[in-house]
């Protein structure tokens, strides 16, 4: 597997975590163990699962971790919208755009890895699974 730190999706998701932490500092104190904690955990899960998946020995396992990252990115999207509706943050367009780019890149990486696995099976070479 490749070095996760070289992946643009990893780098961008690390930037997203940093921005989520900055934004959630201003959330109400009563949300410390609620929405603040939840959105931070979901955001952290995105690059963490990319990193863990890249250390796995098979493409199948890597893809599974990328799906976890994708699910977490969608959680972040939902939690940002909820934060806006609750009046905790006003402008979410830029951070949502970044998150959508991450979702797009994760989807592309998953498709690419699936194609490589399919190509190896088609040639009778198998995969590292």
Q: In angstroms, rounded to a whole number, what is the distance separating the alpha carbons of residues 83 and 92?
A: 9
Average pLDDT, the chain: 90
Angle, helices 8-24 vs 93-122, to 10°: value is 150
Q: In angstroms, rounded to a whole number, what is the distance separating the alpha carbons of residues 118 and 90?
A: 45
pLDDT in tens, 74-87: 999 999 999 999 99
| Among candidate residues 40, 52, 35, the one with its CA nearest the CA of residue 86 | 35
pLDDT band at 116, cuts 50/70/90?
confident
The predicted structure's pLDDT at residue 54: 92
Question: Taking the model in full, what pTM does it have?
Answer: 0.87
Q: Which carries the bigger pLDDT value, residue 128 or residue 15? A: 15
Q: What is the mean pLDDT of residues 88-99?
A: 93
pLDDT in tens, 18-52: 999 999 999 999 999 999 999 999 999 999 999 99
The DSSP element (H or E) to which 15 belongs, if any, is helix 8-24
Residue 114 has pLDDT above 60, yes or no: yes
CATH class of the domain comprising 4-122: mainly alpha
pLDDT band at 106, cuts 50/70/90?
very high
pLDDT band at 2, cuts 50/70/90?
low
Domain residue ranges of the chain, discontinuous segments joined by +: 4-122
């Amino acid at each position: 597997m490749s070095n996760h730190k070289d992946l643009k999706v990893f780098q961008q998701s690390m930037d997203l975590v940093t921005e989520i932490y900055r934004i959630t500092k201003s959330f109400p104190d009563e949300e410390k163990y609620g929405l603040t904690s939840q959105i931070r955990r979901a955001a952290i899960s995105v690059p963490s699962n990319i990193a863990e998946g890249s250390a796995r020995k098979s493409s199948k396992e890597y893809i599974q971790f990328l799906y976890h990252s994708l699910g977490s990115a969608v959680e972040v999207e939902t939690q940002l919208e909820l934060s806006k509706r609750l009046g905790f943050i006003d402008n979410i367009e830029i951070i949502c755009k970044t998150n959508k780019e991450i979702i797009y890149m994760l989807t592309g990486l998953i498709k690419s890895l699936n194609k490589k696995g399919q190509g190896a099976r088609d040639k009778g070479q198998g995969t590292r699974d």
